[in-house]
Amino acid sequence: MFPFVSLQVAGAIGLLGLLVFVAFIGLTVWVYKDAQQHSEQPAFLWAAVVFLAPLIGILLYMFIGRESDESY
């Protein structure tokens, strides 16, 4: 017999996946807007890096791509 997953569990997993995807989209949009103001490199490239590799991409952007701003 095949193991079956209840519909409630499948729905919860699907909702969690959707929320994570929306968070990645939001992070990508934030990086794009921030890179337009604080980076010399093209903003769409940083957005693509963060979208394709979110954890490594955001670290790379924060440490390499973002220019230091002395106005803080």
pLDDT of the residue at 44 = 95
Is residue 4 in a domain? Answer: no
Number of domains making up the chain = 1
**CA angle centred on 61, ends 58 and 62, rounded to 5°:** 85
Instruction: Report residue 46 CA to chain centroid gap.
Output: 11
Residue 9 pLDDT more than 90?
Answer: no
Is residue 45 in a domain? Answer: yes
Q: What is the pLDDT of residues 19-42, one digit of tens each?
A: 999 999 999 999 999 999 998 999
Domain that holds residue 34: 23-65
The whole-model pTM stands at 0.76
Is residue 72 in a domain? Answer: no
pLDDT of the residue at 70 = 54
Is residue 16 in a domain? Answer: no
Is residue 8 in a domain? Answer: no
Is residue 21 classed as helix, strand or coil in its secondary structure?
A: helix
Q: What is the pLDDT of residues 53-65, one digit of tens each?
A: 989 999 999 999 8
Is residue 52 in a domain? Answer: yes
Is residue 56 in a domain? Answer: yes
Is residue 38 in a domain? Answer: yes
